[in-house]
Structure 1
């Protein structure tokens, strides 16, 4: 039996609808891991962090997706540097830079994937609407074919009835064809979205592999450097104990930094800087001279005077600037620094060369690090979850000093995201007075 034009179109559209149903399960139908439910609780001061031990390194290795051959090669590479602090320092700074670049790429890929999901949902919405419209038209045609109404009962001699039928079919067929073309276009769009998503996912996996490898590299390097300075003098041990005691007595950051700075200028140790006053006539360095100075990874004191480093400091972490210097801090005062909303477990590096005046928990700031960067300048980092440097240690700009957690630690900032995102608070001081950090950074803070 011959199939009429209406039936042919119905079969074609039915085929298209089946094809669209098969193509729909893409990004938006990927099952997402539910976010943990946050409960309101007083901010807890985390326990004192420790430098990675052998057991810690083994745990990190077990959690990584790197193959054993790559892990063994990385260990051999680091073992070859044993005792060579200059090479270890250079490797740490280079690894930290690779982590920062990978973190930026991961954030960009995740944003592009988010855009693809939005596009996919938009196309799926149009297809769902087309399904309903086409189903209604097909249902009407089916009813007509089973129970034709009187105007469509065509007598061979009834020219008027034949004309009415032709007009009805000619009105329906173009609409169905247009719908079929729209469905075909949307199905192609879904295929393009899936192709783009697969490419982005491959890029994301590659960057996560970089992050995993550099995480292990940094932890292993820190452990190796730690082994080289395990023998600490009684004087350094006493210095650390005194710093902790000062932190327990201080009621504000200003008081803590003042006490620590005063102690640094009055107590001379093998690893502490002198408290030389800031030179009002800071020598001028060319960009090339500054690059050469910072390239010396064997240095054990700041490469250049801190005041001369303006415009060259390393941003401690990748993130979005959510609080500027001098704006309301959300607790009735003004912010003495800036706050960055970072990724979970983001790496934190030293913003400048300096000696660690203090590291550890302080009031409701979470884990903090205070660096004496020389010439009566200090740099404060607050809100970390782990710290991998020691009091009295000299750190070079760009060297890893710790990591963020999975959420805000302590009441360091109030943002629209609440405590769901980790937030790093950064503060610069001169003579224990807050300094606007704007213009001090080598690269501008990422903005949202």
Structure 2
């Protein structure tokens, strides 16, 4: 009978083991979640971003395989790799949110176990002590045999009740073991995603190195244009003025491109019709038309300031500010031509892209810019990476120079 009182005691003495979370770096990242609701929202956001990046990467990889020109193939390969990097980043963010949720459940379960286990431990310890009294010792004491009979009768009725009450406790201990297994699986998946991210970044760096070597062969005009853009950046006082000056330069470049070429001398000059210089109908500069059809966010992360938001200093936001993970991949929000790329006062490195139809996008908050002035980009082409310390990437979209809400034009 004493053995029956001991059978369930090892279960009550089980300690709730914790999973090593992979070091202080991961623990610090998990601290960014303010509560379980924040972690669940981050998990849903990351899962959605991962699906979108995966779909975009597959589409770009298929286009790269179908491309016949080397330049186009390389550009699409770069955009596909950037999409796969963002997919890995989103999977890492999802893994961190999942681990944070599991850790929160385990902590709450641990507190409940501590509350329920204490009184049961005291009770079972007392029952175990009584049950271990030798029968021969009870026979030597007057009346102790009757007490022993009463004690065993009490144990017969008490032990099943204790076992019933500890069933819920044993079930929660089992749930704790399952949560521990889930945490270990999530940590394994997180480590795999981080390794995949490193591999894809190395492949993108190798591809970009080949692109730079190829572009140096015809970089004369591009270098001169980059110098002019940097000179404009030094002359202007703010981003609005810089974008306006770049828009003027872009309009002039379009006008020059639309000029007719040299007229070939006709075989019978006396029969030709002469048109006075300047009287020929010029092609008008197109006004802002439809927005870029492939417009997308340049980085994966949490929105910290929306379009029109008022800061503590009273400034109205003319774009969308996103807080990504440290060193996150930043991509081109749409197809276009790089009008400016480099450092600008107070904004770290920025990239300004001209799109068709009078649209312009501005991306700020880059720690490194991997594009050059005059370069033609596909939607999703790698622009650079975000900062490592508290990164914030801001996207502005302008139509004929006027800021508009980027969220209204997402594809």
Residue in 2 that maps onto 1:372: 354
Residue in 1 that maps onto 2:173: 187
- Shift in Å, 1:145: 7.1
- Shift in Å, 1:355: 1.4
- Residues matched between the structures, number: 344
1:224-265 per-position Cα deviation (integer Å, ceiling 9, x unaligned):
011011135544323212211221222211011112222233
Residue in 2 that maps onto 1:219: 205
| Match status 1:433 vs 2:388 | no
After superposition, the CA RMSD in angstroms is 3.5
Paired residues of 1:325 and 1:337 also in contact (CA < 8 A) = yes
Matched ranges for 1:99-178 at <5 A: 99-141=85-127, 155=143, 165=151, 169=155, 172-178=158-164
- Shift in Å, 1:352: 1.0
| Match status 1:406 vs 2:392 | no
Distance in 2 between residues matched to 1:95 and 1:189, nearest whole Å: 40
Residue in 1 that maps onto 2:9: 14
Distance in 1 between residues matched to 2:287 and 2:112, nearest whole Å: 68
Distance in 2 between residues matched to 1:97 and 1:138, nearest whole Å: 59
Give 4+ residue runs of structure 1 displaced > 6 Å after superposition: 161-164, 268-271
- With over 3 angstroms needed to count, the CA separation of the structure-2 counterparts of 1:200 and 1:142, relative to structure 1, is closer
- Shift in Å, 1:267: 5.0
* TM-score for both structures, normalised by structure 1: 0.67
1:362 to 323, 344, 349: 344
Paired residues of 1:276 and 1:375 also in contact (CA < 8 A) = no
2:323 to 337, 341, 350: 341
Any unmatched runs of 5+ in structure 1?
Answer: 37-77, 148-152, 283-306, 409-421, 443-448
Residue in 1 that maps onto 2:292: 309
- Shift in Å, 1:404: 0.9
1:145-199 per-position Cα deviation (integer Å, ceiling 9, x unaligned):
799xxxxx883796xx679646754664244313442342123212222332333
- Shift in Å, 1:84: 1.8
* TM-score for both structures, normalised by structure 2: 0.73
Distance in 2 between residues matched to 1:104 and 1:276, nearest whole Å: 45
Residue in 1 that maps onto 2:285: 277
1:25 to 12, 17, 35: 17
- With over 3 angstroms needed to count, the CA separation of the structure-2 counterparts of 1:103 and 1:165, relative to structure 1, is same
| Larger-Rg structure | 2
> Whose relative contact order is higher, 1 or 2, with alpha carbons under 8 Å and at least 6 apart?
1
Distance in 2 between residues matched to 1:326 and 1:335, nearest whole Å: 5
Distance in 1 between residues matched to 2:242 and 2:306, nearest whole Å: 23
- With over 3 angstroms needed to count, the CA separation of the structure-2 counterparts of 1:232 and 1:279, relative to structure 1, is same
Any unmatched runs of 5+ in structure 2?
Answer: 30-63, 134-140, 258-282
1:387 to 369, 373, 381: 369
- Shift in Å, 1:379: 0.3
Distance in 1 between residues matched to 2:392 and 2:24, nearest whole Å: 24
Which stretch of the first structure deviates more once superposed, 129-138 or 103-112? 129-138
2:24 aligns to what SS in structure 1? coil
1:99 aligns to what SS in structure 2? helix
1:323 to 302, 305, 308: 305
Paired residues of 2:292 and 2:355 also in contact (CA < 8 A) = no
2:222 to 211, 236, 242: 236
Distance in 1 between residues matched to 2:379 and 2:343, nearest whole Å: 22
- Shift in Å, 1:32: 3.3
- Shift in Å, 1:361: 1.6
